[in-house]
Structure 1
Amino acid sequence: MTRPDAVAVVVPARDEEDLLPGCLDAVAAAVDALRATHPLVRTQVLVVLDACRDGSAQVVHDRDDVVALTTLAGCVGVARSEGVEAAAAWAADVGARSLWVASTDADSVVPAHWLTAHLDWAADGLGLVVGTVEPRPGDLSPAALSAWHQRHTTADGHDHVHGANLGFTLAAYRSAGGFPRLPTHEDVGLVTAMRQAGVPSLATGAVPVVTSGRRAGRAPGGFADYLDGLGA
């Protein structure tokens, strides 16, 4: 299968001025690594500022290589959807034949080989890559961190779904109807629909993303609430 000739990274952010810089630094390193190995592949990073009332917009404004979108929805499903649609419009404008969308979160740090690995899997014919996340150890108590590891595996074939570590082709995304516009579990909804649509997929632990272990989250019933339930 032909390797996608465009890659867009979509990052929803809601009041993330403290953690967004680290996220974008890591994404920039992943973009640099991708450009070093595939210099003809076009790249774009898009941050969706969702009902932000802090300095997140200024964080994005200070980076020439990042595009900012704004929504007042206060809903991560809407934010991710808007980001993908903007990525699709960008890909069409630059004449891309095939777009790979990589999804992460503003409180997360991707590994340097994240995009390079995604693009290689896409070239092998995959339409969906479902990665793992790991909470920053210093954010959790020892008991909560132990409970996390007891309940989660980072091995290939895992059954976890995290919007902070997803990748897919635009064609696969369209075939599944896109992100459901939900305040939480929009990632699970998309992945479930893609798999039901027969999209070739991989659940892998090869590109783990480190994410915040905070217990005061942005999405009701989301990752932060889950960690809080571990006794964090």
Structure 2
Amino acid sequence: MWLSRDNLRLPTLPAGELRRVVVGVPARDEAADILQCLAALDDAAGRTAGPVTIVVSANNCSDATAATARSYVARWSKIIVDEVALPPEQSHAGGARRYVMDRAADLAGAGGVVMTTDADSRVDIDWIASNLGEIAGGADAVAGIITFDAAARATLPALLHRAAEWHLASLHARLEHLIDPRPHDPWPRHIWAWGASLALTVDAYRAVGGVPSVALAEDRALADAVERAGLRLRRSHAPLVFTSSRRIGRAPGGFADLLASHAGTTAPCDAALEPTRVLVRRLLLRARTRRERGRDFSEAWAQAEALSPQLARRRLCPADLTEEVRRAEQLISLLERRAARRADSPGVVLAA
């Protein structure tokens, strides 16, 4: 699988570190999956010492999502089900996520933690504890990983270029670690920010103004907002979520559409990917800006990136992947050899 927890030491919550946790689940016409989602969250709540509340936002539903969610009898958590009719301009993935996370933040209060997942997904039993462990370790926000269980994987055809995309993503994560390492986001790490696995302190959530009001990719926009604010985003392999393999989703352009497009050789690659050379230029400039500006890094980096047209993002196509993987592997090999030779050096230098 493209995301792995092999050889990963999961963080543990320090004794006495208890936070109020509220998990927000946007759910639109999810009657078929919501019970499995709630059961997994409830089991995860049972592995944490602090109070856990789950808020289901049954927004603009035409099925029995709300009634089905209310029928679940929780053992370890408190479940709240809101039936919401979002106005047309907000009845999209971003609007639904914003509503339920705003609600979660209100319930969690100062010092609390808000988390979110998707109604067609099942969190790992240690998902809540893993998010809390990363936050206890200094993170302001945590982007976890998603994968498929064996049953879901069996329903999928060969993913063709998606497997190559995910391999390139892991190589790009390694390049980021080698060129611009950050203490709060050590290796192993990844490049993703999926709505199925996000967690933030309430303070961080409030500081960035909540979920950005965008119709699509609100998860990536929220992660970007956290980093622009100079907060510590941990892209961790510890919080794990098993997601649905369905290819007819609720949000146009979402993960279901990503899976459905596996057969098309002309569909663009995931927007999180970019040409390796552009990525390396960005990382070199970012690392230099970080060294030179220190505490003023966030503002300085925003200005530097805006004034650097050579860093403009360009979507990759499947035909690009073989060459991009080759280039990334060569650069990683070069950087790792240099790092081995310069073990006493505090940084890695690479010419653009």
For Structure 1 versus Structure 2, the TM-score category normalised by the shorter chain is 0.7 to 0.9
> Is 1:13–2:40 an aligned residue pair?
no
Gaps (5+ residues) in structure 2?
A: 1-13, 171-186, 265-352
Contact 2:145 2:197 in 1 (8 A): yes
Say whether the 8 Å CA contact 1:139–1:212 is kept in structure 2: no
- Superposed displacement of residue 122, structure 1: 1.2
TM-score, normalization: structure 2?
0.59
Structure with a larger share of its residues in helix: 2
Matched, 1:207 2:239: yes
User: How far off is 1:149 after superposition?
Assistant: 3.4
**What is the deviation of 1:138?**
2.6
For 1:187-198, list aligned pairs within 5 A: 187-198=219-230
| 1:1-232 to 2 correspondences below 5 Å | 3=17, 5-34=19-48, 38=49, 41-64=50-73, 65-73=78-86, 74-92=91-109, 97-135=110-148, 136-141=152-157, 143-144=158-159, 147-152=161-166, 156-231=188-263
Q: Residues 199 and 177 (structure 1 numbering): CA distance in 2 closer, same or farther, change over 3 Å? A: same
Query: SS where residue 33 of structure 1 aligns?
Result: coil
Counterpart-to-counterpart distance in 2, 1:196 and 1:139: 39
For residues 51-108 of structure 1, the C-alpha deviation after alignment (integer angstroms, 9 at most, x for no partner) is: 111111111111353101222233221222221222233234xxxx411111100000
Does the 8 Å CA contact 2:108/2:114 hold for their aligned counterparts?
no
Kindly indicate whether structure 1 or structure 2 has the higher relative contact order, using CA contacts under 8 Å at least 6 residues apart: 1
TM-score by length of 1: 0.88
> What is the distance in 2 between the residues matched to 1:182 and 1:175?
18
**Structure 1 runs of 4+ off > 6 angstroms?**
none
Partner Cα distance (1:15, 1:45) in 2: 18
Check the 8 A contact 1:10/1:46 in 2, yes or no: yes
Q: Is the 8 A contact 2:95 2:214 kept in 1?
A: yes
| Matches of 1:172 and 1:139, distance apart in 2 | 38
1:24-62 CA deviation, whole Å, 9 max, x = no partner?
A: 11001100111xxx2xx2210000111111111111111
Instruction: Return the alpha-carbon distance in structure 1 between the equivalents of residues 206 and 156 of structure 2.
Output: 37
Bigger strand fraction: 1
Query: C-alpha separation between the residues in 1 aligned to 2:26 and 2:35?
Result: 13
- How many residue pairs align between the two structures? 221
Larger Rg over CA atoms? 2
Percent identity over the alignment? Answer: 32
RMSD (Å) for aligned C-alpha atoms: 2.0
Distance change in 2, residues 1:150/1:208 (3 Å):
farther
Whichever residue aligns with residue 70 of structure 2, its letter is: H
Structure 1: gaps (5+ residues): none
